[in-house]
Structure 1
Amino acid sequence: MTQDSTQSATGTAPAVSARALLPTIVPALLVGVVTSLVLLGVSAAAEELQHALWRDLPDALGVGRYSVAWMFAVLVATGVAVGLVVWKVPGHAGPDPATTGLEAPVLPLAVLPGLLLVTALVLAGGPSLGPENPIIAVNVSLAVWFGARAFPATAERGWVALAEAGTIGALFGTPVAAALVISEALAGQRVKGQLWDSLFAPLAAAGAGALTTTLVSRPSFDLHLPPFGQPGWGDLLASLVVASAGALLGLCAVYAFPYTHGAFARLRHPMLMLPAGGVVLGALAALGGHLTLFKGLDEIAELAADPDGWTAGEFAVMTVVKLAALLVAASCGFRGGRIFPSVFVGTALGLCAHALVPEVHPAVGVSAGVLGLLLAVTRQGWVSLFVAAVLVASPGMLALLCLASLPAWLLVTGRPHMQLRPDGTAVS
């Protein structure tokens, strides 16, 4: 039997030689650094604008920074501003965000300025969305444009993989998340061959993106919750129940997504859809308070700093309001991702479980709640496990989360995704 027939029989491809992999290192590192700088630049601009909108301007006007009237005014104004960009700026800030996920389409360069502008407006103005989806789309489009000119013989898919990996590494401050996402994507595409050969260049991009972010901004996802030691049977039961509850809660948003999107789509014009979304978000902010605004990372740190500082009812209200705000923001046309707001929802759910049953350790409740929410909303198993685990720096938590993911995954698998086709039907 020849070597080729042996490879065919085993279903594998030959390993790539080191000579073929070495030339990919420099482009991968360059892409990783640039993707991080794009993310950091947009985040810095959004942070400055956020300070102006939520600190300097209300102080100058003599109104409360997070008074109901001011939250309502800023969210509606954000809807108007984003609506103007989507309506008038060339490219209309990209495709309908309800139809996009972490695997971003390659967009024309003319679309990118508008998309970057609305991303900064959303991050600063308070809608409950994160930067991941639009920043990945921008970085993918830039990488493909650069790659087609600098290395015309290179396949477009390779540049897409580098940009996605670099951005995910930059978002989470570690290349591990990117490696997990890419591994899951390769499995879904039934890519055969050597896994580490396929991961070599994307992992270099992810490492460069993560290191650049770490050196510049020093991000940390550890919530510094009360220390968690060795897990017990009660912790296992709590993780199973909370993760399953999180998955079911996330599925409520998933099933409601096509209907809320359809309701806003009936308005037909971005200058109606987005301001209307701002009105609804303003009403939700009045109900849930200022902690339910923005992408949610700073806000979960505030919750975790005092796990016993709110009642179970207050945590429950924040959980429901934040999930509703995520649903509305993603449906009416605001550009942004769903991962970071989902982390807030899962955190609030886990702390609600702790408030209801004090025997539920806050670290167990938070990790399991985040795991269940992310499984339902993203359908990315490895990323969900990773994010839930890094929130609590405890080796004993990982075993609990792996077991808790089993019933949660049984609840979400085969269900629709929180992503729509262009015709408005759910991706399944």
Structure 2
Amino acid sequence: MPGPTAASPVPATPPGPQLTVRRLVLLAIPAIVIGVLSALTLWLLNAIADRIDDVLWTNLPKSLGIASDSPWWIFTVLTATGIAVGLVVWLVPGHAGPDSATTELAATPLKLSVLPGLAVVLMLSLAGGVSLGPENPIIAINVSLAVALVARMSKAVPAQLIGALAISATIGALFGTPVAAALVFTGMVGEFKMGGSLWDKLFLPLVAAGAGSVTTYLVGGGFGAQAPFDPYGAPQPFDLLLGSVVACLAAAFALVGVYLFPLVHRAFHALRHPLLFTALGGVVLGILGAIGGPITLFKGLDQSEQLLADPGDYPPAQLTVILLVKLAALVVAASAGFRGGRIFPAVFLGVAAGLLGGALLPGLALSLAVACGILGVVLAIARDGWVALFVAVALVDDVTVLPMLCIIVLPAWLIVTRAREMLITPEDLARELPPAPLPWERSGSTR
């Protein structure tokens, strides 16, 4: 589910009572509540975004007698989305929260007054075809709501723990299973200043993630299996070499976008005003969408399913164009002031990279090729091996590729481990011009 560095540290829970059985049982109650409410918030925002999507891409063009997949309609909608998002970021109180380019999955609570603007921008981006996923904004929204809600109900639960439970619940809801949350939090448990075993520390995040994933299942969402592949079967030694080539090349390709990210971010933000650089981002995304077509739009989950439904429909040349356009769209969307995460577009890029690898290396089973492509791209962008392994296996719906991936991930990790992350750091921001003061900032007034 990265810019998300999926293993971003959760704020440390201050020293407190040991995690006794009684304490775990009592804390499981707010964990379940947080899990259910986090999933419902995600579902509600997605449902509203789907309705806006229907208007923009089905009802409106149909009423005008226009093909919704025509290049100029794609350009028009994305340009209008950029302008709309820029207006919200500029004018709405809270300015839609922090720039997603500077944030990780582990969000700190925001003021409640910021959340309406952030929710609007998220829904506009999801509906308008922007190449970003919902993960960073929805985690920030759920963390902020959970901290505010539980703090009103009880002072006994530390705010840092509430935030961690909301993150876990949202990850469980996004992927429709608590497994992803368990893998992410396995690398974070050292931050929890509580006694007990590993599973004591994982207990509450798993309760929240489980409640979130079950709620998502009940309302009809989730990160379902997409691929109609035959099982890979018994490992073949030569496939280790071929799979490593696909994973390493996919990771290296994604790192091109990672290294371009701060340069593109600096170029857009040189305009110094959110309306200007976000509107320009919409124009550039519109041009890219007109070139790449509808399959290069949106967060990429449905588009991954489309690619995998009939891989033979996409020759290597077309897959190459899709990869180049989608990577450019991800970098531009993440740089130009839109709010969203990078994991879902990274999954789409991985699927396209795997299909291209499978087409160029016909001796490699397509299920393993796609899994290796996903592994490499998600590893480079999310910088978390657990998440990369989970998503790769989940998308191809074939656990028999897992033993191969556990080895192939090692050379791919060597490619990315010393590379920069897809995140705008304070050092990067220091090299940029400050944004233009907004009207109320120039006058000294506040909202």
Aligned length: 414
Alignment-derived partner of residue 377 in structure 2: 373
* Structure 1: distance between partners of 2:329 and 2:246: 21
* Structure 2: distance between partners of 1:82 and 1:158: 32
Point out the more displaced range, 295-304 or 149-158.
149-158
* Structure 2: distance between partners of 1:266 and 1:242: 37
* Structure 1: distance between partners of 2:158 and 2:205: 14
* Structure 2: distance between partners of 1:60 and 1:218: 29
* Structure 2: distance between partners of 1:250 and 1:193: 39
Matched letter for residue 51 of structure 1: D
Matches within 5 A, 1:106-121: 106-121=109-124
* Structure 1: distance between partners of 2:88 and 2:100: 14
Alignment-derived partner of residue 69 in structure 2: 66
Matched letter for residue 404 of structure 1: I
Q: Does 1:333 align with 2:337?
A: yes
* Structure 1: distance between partners of 2:65 and 2:54: 15
Alignment-derived partner of residue 146 in structure 2: 143
Matched letter for residue 115 of structure 2: L
* Structure 1: distance between partners of 2:427 and 2:380: 22
Contact 2:125 / 2:132 at 8 angstroms: preserved in 1? yes
Matched letter for residue 329 of structure 1: A
Matches within 5 A, 1:110-189: 110-187=113-190
SS in 2 for 1:65: coil
* Structure 1: distance between partners of 2:223 and 2:170: 16
Alignment-derived partner of residue 9 in structure 1: none
* Structure 2: distance between partners of 1:204 and 1:298: 28
TM-score (norm 1): 0.94
Tell me: CA distance 1:272–1:144, structure 2 relative to 1, closer, same or farther (3 Å).
same
Among 9, 15, 24, the alignment partner of 2:27 is 24
Alignment-derived partner of residue 209 in structure 1: 212
1:204-246 alpha-carbon deviations (Å, 9 max, x no partner): 0000000000111153431223202223123222211111111
Alignment-derived partner of residue 100 in structure 2: 97
Among 380, 383, 386, the alignment partner of 1:382 is 386
Alignment-derived partner of residue 89 in structure 2: 86
Q: CA deviation at 1:357?
A: 2.4
Alignment-derived partner of residue 251 in structure 1: 255
Unaligned ranges ≥5, structure 1: 1-12
Alignment-derived partner of residue 307 in structure 1: 311
* Structure 2: distance between partners of 1:143 and 1:226: 40
TM-score (norm 2): 0.90
Alignment-derived partner of residue 3 in structure 2: none
* Structure 2: distance between partners of 1:192 and 1:264: 47
Contact 1:354 / 1:362 at 8 angstroms: preserved in 2? yes
Q: CA deviation at 1:64?
A: 1.2
Alignment-derived partner of residue 56 in structure 2: 53
* Structure 1: distance between partners of 2:194 and 2:369: 36
Alignment-derived partner of residue 345 in structure 1: 349
Point out the more displaced range, 42-51 or 359-368.
359-368
Q: CA deviation at 1:173?
A: 0.4
Matched letter for residue 178 of structure 1: A
Unaligned ranges ≥5, structure 2: 1-15, 431-447
Sequence identity, in percent? 51
Q: Does 1:400 align with 2:383?
A: no
